[in-house]
Amino acid sequence: MTASIRDIPFSRADGSATSLGEYTDKVLLIVNVASKCGFTRQYDGLEALYRSYRDQGLVVLGFPANDFGGQEPGTDGEIQEFCRLTYGVDFPVFAKIAVKGPRKHPLYQALIEAQPKAAFRPDSTLLTRLAGKGAAPSPAEVSWNFEKFLIDRQGNVVARYRSDTEPQDETIVAPVRRLLAT
């Protein structure tokens, strides 16, 4: 990872400090998550992906954010409990942060700068649906909950996927497998 991304501090749900430096030499899938979103069911797919590939070096990292329609209103403790009890989440879920706007966390600023465009599924209707709700995203922002950033073992942000790309879709799984093999 570049020093700037690896060294950006953020907090675990218990308030202790950490950074991506803790995950050096791992393949990372970073996801902004929310408990009350239409995409919340993706926790199942994220956990399945994590369990399938964690022994090979994949780590899924969840960053709760309340930036989209107030869909993550809980405290860090409530979010942890929800993830564990409702979806059996074992991958790390950190303290709530902002992923867009003027309070955007520096980690998300760096991720977006490194990968300014997100990949869409060919049949995606996400942007149309968001525009219909008056929430058309800026290209410089995360568009909604459950957007995903894939980072290789060297710390390069290699891909960005919009919210409607399921965690177990081959557009994510194939690059994960390839990155884990290197």
Q: Is residue 176 helix, strand or coil?
A: helix
Q: Is 37 a catalytic residue?
A: yes
User: Where does 69-173 show beta strands of DSSP type E?
Assistant: 148-151, 157-161
Tokens 């996927």 belong to residue: 161
Tokens 């998550």 belong to residue: 33
Rounded CA separation 115/151 (Å): 10
Q: Which of 37, 48, 158, 173 is catalytic?
A: 37
26 HSE (CA, 13 A, CB side): 18
Rounded CA separation 50/118 (Å): 21
So which residues are the catalytic ones?
Answer: 37
